[in-house]
Structure 1
Protein backbone atom coordinates (compact mmCIF):
# COMPACT_ATOMS: atom_id res chain seq x y z
CA UNK A 1 0.00 0.00 0.00
CA UNK A 2 1.28 3.50 -0.83
CA UNK A 3 1.63 6.36 1.66
CA UNK A 4 1.81 10.18 1.42
CA UNK A 5 3.97 11.77 4.14
CA UNK A 6 2.63 15.26 3.56
CA UNK A 7 -1.06 14.36 3.84
CA UNK A 8 -0.48 11.38 6.16
CA UNK A 9 -2.84 9.15 4.21
CA UNK A 10 -2.59 5.70 2.70
CA UNK A 11 -3.66 5.17 -0.91
CA UNK A 12 -5.12 1.78 -1.76
CA UNK A 13 -5.57 2.25 -5.49
CA UNK A 14 -2.17 2.19 -7.27
CA UNK A 15 -1.24 5.75 -8.30
CA UNK A 16 1.83 7.78 -9.21
CA UNK A 17 0.81 10.91 -7.28
CA UNK A 18 -1.15 11.66 -4.13
CA UNK A 19 -4.78 12.46 -5.04
CA UNK A 20 -4.79 15.39 -2.55
CA UNK A 21 -1.45 17.19 -2.88
CA UNK A 22 -0.15 15.58 -6.09
CA UNK A 23 3.08 14.76 -4.28
CA UNK A 24 5.11 11.59 -4.74
CA UNK A 25 3.90 8.49 -2.91
CA UNK A 26 6.06 6.09 -0.91
CA UNK A 27 5.77 2.33 -1.06
CA UNK A 28 5.07 -0.07 -3.87
CA UNK A 29 1.71 -0.15 -5.66
CA UNK A 30 -0.17 -3.41 -5.20
CA UNK A 31 -2.35 -4.42 -8.13
CA UNK A 32 -4.52 -6.66 -5.94
CA UNK A 33 -5.63 -3.53 -4.02
CA UNK A 34 -6.88 -1.82 -7.18
CA UNK A 35 -10.46 -0.65 -6.53
CA UNK A 36 -11.28 0.60 -10.03
CA UNK A 37 -10.46 -0.81 -13.48
CA UNK A 38 -7.57 0.82 -15.30
CA UNK A 39 -9.36 2.41 -18.25
CA UNK A 40 -6.07 3.63 -19.68
CA UNK A 41 -5.08 0.06 -20.45
CA UNK A 42 -8.37 -0.58 -22.21
CA UNK A 43 -8.00 2.63 -24.24
CA UNK A 44 -4.39 1.76 -25.06
CA UNK A 45 -5.35 -1.72 -26.30
CA UNK A 46 -8.24 -0.28 -28.31
CA UNK A 47 -5.97 2.37 -29.84
CA UNK A 48 -3.36 -0.21 -30.77
CA UNK A 49 -5.99 -2.49 -32.28
CA UNK A 50 -7.35 0.39 -34.36
CA UNK A 51 -3.84 1.33 -35.54
CA UNK A 52 -3.30 -2.26 -36.68
CA UNK A 53 -6.68 -2.23 -38.41
CA UNK A 54 -5.82 1.08 -40.14
CA UNK A 55 -2.49 -0.31 -41.33
CA UNK A 56 -4.19 -3.44 -42.71
CA UNK A 57 -6.68 -1.21 -44.57
CA UNK A 58 -3.84 0.80 -46.10
CA UNK A 59 -2.01 -2.42 -47.03
CA UNK A 60 -5.12 -3.77 -48.77
CA UNK A 61 -5.52 -0.52 -50.72
CA UNK A 62 -1.85 -0.46 -51.75
CA UNK A 63 -2.00 -4.12 -52.81
CA UNK A 64 -5.17 -3.57 -54.85
CA UNK A 65 -3.79 -0.53 -56.69
CA UNK A 66 -0.46 -2.31 -57.29
CA UNK A 67 -2.13 -5.38 -58.79
CA UNK A 68 -4.41 -3.18 -60.88
CA UNK A 69 -1.36 -1.27 -62.14
CA UNK A 70 0.58 -4.44 -62.95
CA UNK A 71 -2.33 -5.90 -64.91
CA UNK A 72 -2.95 -2.60 -66.67
CA UNK A 73 -5.60 0.00 -65.95
CA UNK A 74 -8.06 -1.36 -68.50
CA UNK A 75 -10.64 -1.03 -65.74
CA UNK A 76 -10.05 0.76 -62.47
CA UNK A 77 -11.50 -2.02 -60.31
CA UNK A 78 -9.14 -1.11 -57.49
CA UNK A 79 -11.18 2.08 -57.07
CA UNK A 80 -14.05 -0.02 -55.75
CA UNK A 81 -11.65 -1.69 -53.32
CA UNK A 82 -10.47 1.73 -52.12
CA UNK A 83 -14.05 2.91 -51.68
CA UNK A 84 -15.08 -0.26 -49.85
CA UNK A 85 -12.12 -0.16 -47.49
CA UNK A 86 -12.69 3.56 -46.87
CA UNK A 87 -16.35 2.99 -45.98
CA UNK A 88 -15.44 0.11 -43.68
CA UNK A 89 -12.76 2.21 -41.97
CA UNK A 90 -15.14 5.12 -41.36
CA UNK A 91 -17.87 2.86 -39.95
CA UNK A 92 -15.34 1.14 -37.68
CA UNK A 93 -13.82 4.43 -36.52
CA UNK A 94 -17.21 5.85 -35.54
CA UNK A 95 -18.14 2.60 -33.78
CA UNK A 96 -14.96 2.83 -31.68
CA UNK A 97 -15.26 6.56 -30.91
CA UNK A 98 -18.93 6.25 -29.88
CA UNK A 99 -18.57 2.91 -28.07
CA UNK A 100 -19.32 4.45 -24.63
CA UNK A 101 -22.90 5.29 -25.65
CA UNK A 102 -24.47 2.36 -27.49
CA UNK A 103 -27.64 4.28 -28.38
CA UNK A 104 -25.72 7.17 -29.93
CA UNK A 105 -23.47 4.64 -31.66
CA UNK A 106 -26.44 2.92 -33.30
CA UNK A 107 -27.88 6.23 -34.55
CA UNK A 108 -24.53 7.34 -35.98
CA UNK A 109 -24.07 4.02 -37.74
CA UNK A 110 -27.56 4.33 -39.25
CA UNK A 111 -26.80 7.79 -40.65
CA UNK A 112 -23.48 6.62 -42.06
CA UNK A 113 -25.13 3.57 -43.64
CA UNK A 114 -27.55 5.91 -45.44
CA UNK A 115 -24.60 7.76 -46.93
CA UNK A 116 -22.74 4.53 -47.75
CA UNK A 117 -25.76 2.98 -49.49
CA UNK A 118 -26.47 6.11 -51.55
CA UNK A 119 -22.78 6.44 -52.44
CA UNK A 120 -22.46 2.83 -53.64
CA UNK A 121 -25.73 2.97 -55.52
CA UNK A 122 -24.51 6.11 -57.28
CA UNK A 123 -21.02 4.86 -58.26
CA UNK A 124 -22.39 1.53 -59.51
CA UNK A 125 -24.86 3.10 -61.92
CA UNK A 126 -27.86 3.98 -59.73
CA UNK A 127 -30.27 1.06 -59.73
CA UNK A 128 -32.28 2.40 -56.81
CA UNK A 129 -31.54 -0.46 -54.41
CA UNK A 130 -30.40 2.04 -51.77
CA UNK A 131 -33.84 3.66 -51.48
CA UNK A 132 -35.76 0.45 -52.20
CA UNK A 133 -34.01 -1.76 -49.67
CA UNK A 134 -30.85 -0.26 -48.13
CA UNK A 135 -32.17 2.73 -46.18
CA UNK A 136 -35.51 1.23 -44.99
CA UNK A 137 -33.94 -2.06 -43.89
CA UNK A 138 -31.10 -0.22 -42.12
CA UNK A 139 -33.63 1.84 -40.17
CA UNK A 140 -35.69 -1.22 -39.25
CA UNK A 141 -32.49 -2.93 -38.11
CA UNK A 142 -31.60 0.08 -35.93
CA UNK A 143 -35.03 -0.13 -34.29
CA UNK A 144 -34.36 -3.76 -33.43
CA UNK A 145 -30.84 -3.01 -32.19
CA UNK A 146 -32.04 -0.17 -29.95
CA UNK A 147 -34.68 -2.38 -28.34
CA UNK A 148 -32.14 -5.16 -27.80
CA UNK A 149 -29.81 -2.66 -26.10
CA UNK A 150 -32.68 -1.44 -23.91
CA UNK A 151 -33.54 -5.03 -22.95
CA UNK A 152 -29.95 -6.02 -22.17
CA UNK A 153 -28.91 -2.86 -20.30
CA UNK A 154 -32.25 -2.17 -18.57
CA UNK A 155 -31.68 1.49 -19.43
CA UNK A 156 -34.19 4.05 -18.10
CA UNK A 157 -36.50 5.74 -20.56
CA UNK A 158 -34.63 9.04 -20.38
CA UNK A 159 -31.45 7.37 -21.69
CA UNK A 160 -32.89 6.18 -24.98
CA UNK A 161 -36.04 8.18 -25.68
CA UNK A 162 -34.35 10.96 -27.66
CA UNK A 163 -32.57 8.40 -29.85
CA UNK A 164 -35.86 6.60 -30.53
CA UNK A 165 -37.33 9.93 -31.61
CA UNK A 166 -34.36 10.65 -33.88
CA UNK A 167 -34.60 7.24 -35.56
CA UNK A 168 -38.38 7.59 -35.89
CA UNK A 169 -38.10 11.00 -37.54
CA UNK A 170 -35.38 9.65 -39.83
CA UNK A 171 -37.64 6.72 -40.69
CA UNK A 172 -40.10 9.16 -42.24
CA UNK A 173 -37.57 9.95 -44.99
CA UNK A 174 -38.67 6.89 -47.06
CA UNK A 175 -42.12 8.53 -47.12
CA UNK A 176 -40.60 11.33 -49.21
CA UNK A 177 -39.14 8.77 -51.60
CA UNK A 178 -42.55 7.07 -51.84
CA UNK A 179 -44.36 10.33 -52.58
CA UNK A 180 -41.74 11.31 -55.17
CA UNK A 181 -42.07 7.97 -56.95
CA UNK A 182 -38.40 7.12 -56.40
CA UNK A 183 -39.22 3.71 -54.89
CA UNK A 184 -39.83 0.64 -57.02
CA UNK A 185 -40.31 -1.90 -54.20
CA UNK A 186 -42.67 -0.35 -51.67
CA UNK A 187 -42.82 -2.96 -48.90
CA UNK A 188 -39.62 -2.06 -46.95
CA UNK A 189 -40.37 1.67 -47.12
CA UNK A 190 -44.01 1.23 -46.08
CA UNK A 191 -42.97 -0.94 -43.12
CA UNK A 192 -40.35 1.63 -42.14
CA UNK A 193 -42.79 4.56 -42.26
CA UNK A 194 -45.48 2.57 -40.43
CA UNK A 195 -42.99 1.69 -37.70
CA UNK A 196 -42.00 5.35 -37.36
CA UNK A 197 -45.61 6.51 -37.04
CA UNK A 198 -46.38 3.81 -34.46
CA UNK A 199 -43.25 4.59 -32.46
CA UNK A 200 -43.87 8.34 -32.39
CA UNK A 201 -47.51 7.75 -31.47
CA UNK A 202 -46.56 5.36 -28.65
CA UNK A 203 -44.01 7.81 -27.25
CA UNK A 204 -46.47 10.72 -27.42
CA UNK A 205 -49.35 8.77 -25.83
CA UNK A 206 -47.60 6.70 -23.17
CA UNK A 207 -44.51 8.82 -22.45
CA UNK A 208 -45.70 12.27 -23.47
CA UNK A 209 -44.60 14.11 -20.34
CA UNK A 210 -41.20 12.41 -20.23
CA UNK A 211 -40.80 13.06 -23.96
CA UNK A 212 -41.56 16.75 -23.50
CA UNK A 213 -39.14 17.05 -20.58
CA UNK A 214 -36.41 15.28 -22.53
CA UNK A 215 -36.90 17.47 -25.61
CA UNK A 216 -36.83 20.64 -23.50
CA UNK A 217 -33.66 19.42 -21.81
CA UNK A 218 -31.94 18.64 -25.12
CA UNK A 219 -33.04 21.88 -26.82
CA UNK A 220 -32.49 24.02 -23.67
CA UNK A 221 -36.01 25.47 -23.84
Structure 2
Protein backbone atom coordinates (compact mmCIF):
# COMPACT_ATOMS: atom_id res chain seq x y z
CA UNK A 1 0.00 0.00 0.00
CA UNK A 2 1.18 3.53 -0.77
CA UNK A 3 2.23 5.94 1.92
CA UNK A 4 0.34 9.22 2.32
CA UNK A 5 2.61 12.24 2.01
CA UNK A 6 1.42 15.55 3.43
CA UNK A 7 2.80 18.83 2.18
CA UNK A 8 4.49 21.30 4.48
CA UNK A 9 3.92 25.04 4.59
CA UNK A 10 6.17 27.67 6.12
CA UNK A 11 5.03 29.66 9.13
CA UNK A 12 5.17 33.37 8.32
CA UNK A 13 6.20 34.23 11.91
CA UNK A 14 9.00 31.80 12.79
CA UNK A 15 9.82 30.38 9.34
CA UNK A 16 9.57 26.70 10.33
CA UNK A 17 8.00 24.07 8.06
CA UNK A 18 4.62 22.97 9.40
CA UNK A 19 2.24 20.20 8.39
CA UNK A 20 -0.33 21.71 6.01
CA UNK A 21 -3.15 19.96 7.92
CA UNK A 22 -2.57 22.17 10.97
CA UNK A 23 -4.27 25.51 11.50
CA UNK A 24 -1.67 26.94 13.88
CA UNK A 25 2.10 26.68 14.12
CA UNK A 26 2.97 24.27 16.98
CA UNK A 27 6.14 26.26 17.76
CA UNK A 28 4.99 29.89 17.97
CA UNK A 29 1.19 29.45 17.99
CA UNK A 30 0.52 31.88 15.12
CA UNK A 31 -2.40 31.07 12.79
CA UNK A 32 -1.11 29.68 9.50
CA UNK A 33 -1.83 31.81 6.45
CA UNK A 34 -2.97 28.84 4.32
CA UNK A 35 -5.95 28.39 6.68
CA UNK A 36 -7.20 31.99 6.48
CA UNK A 37 -10.96 32.43 5.93
CA UNK A 38 -11.54 28.74 6.56
CA UNK A 39 -9.84 27.67 3.35
CA UNK A 40 -6.99 25.17 3.20
CA UNK A 41 -4.58 25.29 0.29
CA UNK A 42 -2.04 22.63 -0.52
CA UNK A 43 0.64 25.11 -1.59
CA UNK A 44 1.89 28.33 0.02
CA UNK A 45 0.73 31.57 -1.57
CA UNK A 46 2.83 33.22 -4.26
CA UNK A 47 2.67 36.51 -2.33
CA UNK A 48 4.43 34.85 0.60
CA UNK A 49 7.15 33.55 -1.70
CA UNK A 50 7.67 37.04 -3.15
CA UNK A 51 8.02 38.55 0.34
CA UNK A 52 10.60 35.95 1.35
CA UNK A 53 12.47 36.51 -1.92
CA UNK A 54 12.57 40.26 -1.32
CA UNK A 55 13.86 39.71 2.21
CA UNK A 56 16.68 37.54 0.87
CA UNK A 57 17.61 40.13 -1.73
CA UNK A 58 17.61 42.93 0.86
CA UNK A 59 19.78 40.85 3.21
CA UNK A 60 22.30 40.29 0.41
CA UNK A 61 22.28 44.02 -0.39
CA UNK A 62 22.84 44.97 3.26
CA UNK A 63 25.67 42.41 3.52
CA UNK A 64 27.32 43.78 0.37
CA UNK A 65 27.09 47.36 1.62
CA UNK A 66 28.45 46.36 5.06
CA UNK A 67 31.41 44.41 3.66
CA UNK A 68 32.21 47.23 1.21
CA UNK A 69 32.10 49.81 4.00
CA UNK A 70 34.40 47.70 6.19
CA UNK A 71 36.92 47.30 3.34
CA UNK A 72 36.94 51.06 2.70
CA UNK A 73 37.34 51.88 6.42
CA UNK A 74 40.20 49.41 6.87
CA UNK A 75 41.94 50.73 3.72
CA UNK A 76 41.70 54.32 4.98
CA UNK A 77 42.97 53.28 8.41
CA UNK A 78 45.96 51.48 6.85
CA UNK A 79 46.86 54.57 4.81
CA UNK A 80 46.46 57.01 7.71
CA UNK A 81 47.43 55.35 11.03
CA UNK A 82 48.11 58.55 12.94
CA UNK A 83 45.21 57.84 15.33
CA UNK A 84 45.73 54.10 15.77
CA UNK A 85 43.26 51.39 14.84
CA UNK A 86 40.14 53.56 15.05
CA UNK A 87 38.62 51.40 12.28
CA UNK A 88 37.81 48.68 14.85
CA UNK A 89 35.22 50.99 16.42
CA UNK A 90 33.66 51.75 13.02
CA UNK A 91 33.70 48.05 12.09
CA UNK A 92 31.90 47.21 15.34
CA UNK A 93 29.18 49.76 14.57
CA UNK A 94 28.82 48.52 10.98
CA UNK A 95 28.68 44.86 12.08
CA UNK A 96 26.04 45.61 14.71
CA UNK A 97 23.99 47.61 12.21
CA UNK A 98 24.19 44.74 9.72
CA UNK A 99 23.05 42.28 12.39
CA UNK A 100 20.17 44.57 13.37
CA UNK A 101 18.87 44.80 9.81
CA UNK A 102 19.67 41.29 8.61
CA UNK A 103 18.95 39.14 11.65
CA UNK A 104 16.24 41.21 13.32
CA UNK A 105 14.32 43.39 10.84
CA UNK A 106 14.47 41.05 7.83
CA UNK A 107 14.65 37.73 9.65
CA UNK A 108 11.84 35.17 9.76
CA UNK A 109 12.98 33.82 13.12
CA UNK A 110 10.76 34.18 16.17
CA UNK A 111 10.67 37.63 17.78
CA UNK A 112 12.17 36.46 21.08
CA UNK A 113 15.09 34.76 19.31
CA UNK A 114 15.77 37.95 17.35
CA UNK A 115 15.69 40.02 20.53
CA UNK A 116 18.03 37.56 22.25
CA UNK A 117 20.53 37.89 19.41
CA UNK A 118 20.25 41.66 19.68
CA UNK A 119 20.92 41.67 23.42
CA UNK A 120 24.08 39.59 23.18
CA UNK A 121 25.29 41.42 20.07
CA UNK A 122 24.87 44.72 21.91
CA UNK A 123 26.78 43.32 24.91
CA UNK A 124 29.69 42.28 22.67
CA UNK A 125 29.66 45.66 20.91
CA UNK A 126 29.85 47.49 24.25
CA UNK A 127 32.83 45.41 25.36
CA UNK A 128 34.67 46.11 22.09
CA UNK A 129 33.98 49.84 22.29
CA UNK A 130 35.13 49.92 25.92
CA UNK A 131 38.32 48.08 24.98
CA UNK A 132 39.11 50.39 22.06
CA UNK A 133 38.49 53.55 24.10
CA UNK A 134 40.94 52.63 26.86
CA UNK A 135 39.25 49.81 28.78
CA UNK A 136 37.85 52.00 31.55
CA UNK A 137 35.43 49.27 32.63
CA UNK A 138 32.21 51.21 32.04
CA UNK A 139 30.83 48.36 29.91
CA UNK A 140 31.08 45.59 32.51
CA UNK A 141 30.45 47.87 35.49
CA UNK A 142 27.28 49.61 34.35
CA UNK A 143 26.23 49.26 30.70
CA UNK A 144 25.98 45.48 30.34
CA UNK A 145 24.08 45.04 33.65
CA UNK A 146 21.74 47.84 32.52
CA UNK A 147 21.13 46.11 29.17
CA UNK A 148 20.38 42.81 30.90
CA UNK A 149 18.13 44.51 33.47
CA UNK A 150 16.09 46.30 30.80
CA UNK A 151 15.81 43.01 28.89
CA UNK A 152 14.44 41.26 31.99
CA UNK A 153 11.97 44.09 32.55
CA UNK A 154 10.90 43.73 28.92
CA UNK A 155 10.44 39.99 29.41
CA UNK A 156 8.30 40.64 32.51
CA UNK A 157 6.16 43.14 30.61
CA UNK A 158 5.87 40.69 27.72
CA UNK A 159 4.69 37.94 30.06
CA UNK A 160 2.07 40.27 31.53
CA UNK A 161 0.81 41.36 28.12
CA UNK A 162 0.74 37.78 26.82
CA UNK A 163 -1.31 36.69 29.83
CA UNK A 164 -3.76 39.54 29.26
CA UNK A 165 -4.24 38.80 25.56
CA UNK A 166 -3.90 35.03 25.83
CA UNK A 167 -0.73 34.85 23.73
CA UNK A 168 1.84 32.07 23.95
CA UNK A 169 4.45 32.79 26.63
CA UNK A 170 6.92 29.91 26.22
CA UNK A 171 9.20 31.90 23.89
CA UNK A 172 9.28 34.82 26.34
CA UNK A 173 10.45 32.42 29.04
CA UNK A 174 13.20 31.28 26.68
CA UNK A 175 14.29 34.89 26.23
CA UNK A 176 14.24 35.43 30.01
CA UNK A 177 16.34 32.30 30.55
CA UNK A 178 18.91 33.44 27.96
CA UNK A 179 19.18 36.88 29.60
CA UNK A 180 19.42 35.35 33.08
CA UNK A 181 22.31 33.16 31.91
CA UNK A 182 24.11 36.35 30.85
CA UNK A 183 23.29 37.91 34.23
CA UNK A 184 24.75 34.90 36.06
CA UNK A 185 27.92 35.18 33.97
CA UNK A 186 28.17 38.83 35.03
CA UNK A 187 27.62 37.70 38.64
CA UNK A 188 30.65 35.45 38.35
CA UNK A 189 32.71 38.23 36.80
CA UNK A 190 31.71 40.61 39.60
CA UNK A 191 34.07 38.69 41.90
CA UNK A 192 36.98 39.10 39.48
CA UNK A 193 39.30 42.09 38.95
CA UNK A 194 37.57 42.80 35.61
CA UNK A 195 34.59 44.36 37.37
CA UNK A 196 35.30 47.34 39.61
CA UNK A 197 31.66 48.04 40.61
CA UNK A 198 30.04 44.75 41.54
CA UNK A 199 26.56 45.67 42.76
CA UNK A 200 24.91 46.25 39.32
CA UNK A 201 25.91 42.75 38.14
CA UNK A 202 24.83 41.17 41.41
CA UNK A 203 21.51 43.03 41.38
CA UNK A 204 20.59 42.04 37.81
CA UNK A 205 21.48 38.39 38.55
CA UNK A 206 19.11 38.45 41.53
CA UNK A 207 16.36 39.96 39.37
CA UNK A 208 16.79 37.24 36.74
CA UNK A 209 16.71 34.40 39.27
CA UNK A 210 13.66 35.88 41.04
CA UNK A 211 11.83 36.33 37.72
CA UNK A 212 12.41 32.70 36.69
CA UNK A 213 11.50 31.42 40.16
CA UNK A 214 8.29 33.45 40.19
CA UNK A 215 7.43 32.19 36.70
CA UNK A 216 7.98 28.58 37.76
CA UNK A 217 5.70 29.07 40.80
CA UNK A 218 2.89 31.29 39.50
CA UNK A 219 2.94 30.32 35.79
CA UNK A 220 3.77 26.66 36.24
CA UNK A 221 1.83 25.43 33.19
CA UNK A 222 3.38 27.90 30.73
CA UNK A 223 6.85 27.46 32.23
CA UNK A 224 6.58 23.67 31.99
CA UNK A 225 5.52 24.05 28.36
CA UNK A 226 8.65 26.08 27.65
CA UNK A 227 10.85 23.42 29.28
CA UNK A 228 9.24 20.71 27.16
CA UNK A 229 9.46 22.62 23.88
CA UNK A 230 12.89 24.19 24.22
CA UNK A 231 14.82 21.94 26.62
CA UNK A 232 12.87 18.65 26.20
CA UNK A 233 12.38 18.27 29.97
**Shared fold per TM-score greater than 0.5:** yes
Match of 1:196 in 2: 208
Q: Look at both structures and tell me which one has the larger radius of gyration over its CA atoms.
A: 1
Of 148, 160, 165, 1:139 maps to 148
Taking structure 1 as reference, are residues 154 and 37 closer, same or farther at Cα in structure 2, changes over 3 Å only?
farther
Contact 1:158 1:214 (C-alpha < 8 Å) held by counterparts: yes
**Partner Cα distance (2:88, 2:109) in 1:** 34
Q: CA RMSD in A?
A: 3.1
Q: CA deviation at 1:202?
A: 0.8
Taking structure 1 as reference, are residues 83 and 217 closer, same or farther at Cα in structure 2, changes over 3 Å only?
closer
**Partner Cα distance (2:222, 2:77) in 1:** 57
Question: What are the ranges of 5 or more consecutive residues in structure 2 without an aligned counterpart?
Answer: 1-40
Match of 2:177 in 1: 165
Q: 1:44-55 counterparts in 2 under 5 A?
A: 44-55=53-64
Match of 1:118 in 2: 127
Contact 2:170 2:225 (C-alpha < 8 Å) held by counterparts: no
Bigger Cα displacement from structure 2, 59-68 vs 109-118:
59-68
Of 39, 48, 66, 1:39 maps to 48
Greater RCO between the two (CA within 8 Å, min separation 6)?
2
CA deviation map 1:107-149 (0-9, x unaligned): 1222222322233333443221221123212212222443455
The alignment's TM-score, normalised by the length of structure 1, stands at 0.67
Q: 1:1-221 counterparts in 2 under 5 A?
A: 38-69=47-78, 72-74=80-82, 75-96=84-105, 98-147=107-156, 149-150=158-159, 151=161, 155-221=167-233
SS of 2:136's equivalent?
coil
Taking structure 1 as reference, are residues 88 and 156 closer, same or farther at Cα in structure 2, changes over 3 Å only?
same
**Partner Cα distance (2:96, 2:171) in 1:** 29
Contact 1:103 1:146 (C-alpha < 8 Å) held by counterparts: no
**Partner Cα distance (2:77, 2:183) in 1:** 40
**Partner Cα distance (1:182, 1:197) in 2:** 23
**Partner Cα distance (1:199, 1:142) in 2:** 12
The alignment's TM-score, normalised by the length of structure 2, stands at 0.64
Q: CA deviation at 1:81?
A: 2.2
Contact 1:117 1:130 (C-alpha < 8 Å) held by counterparts: yes
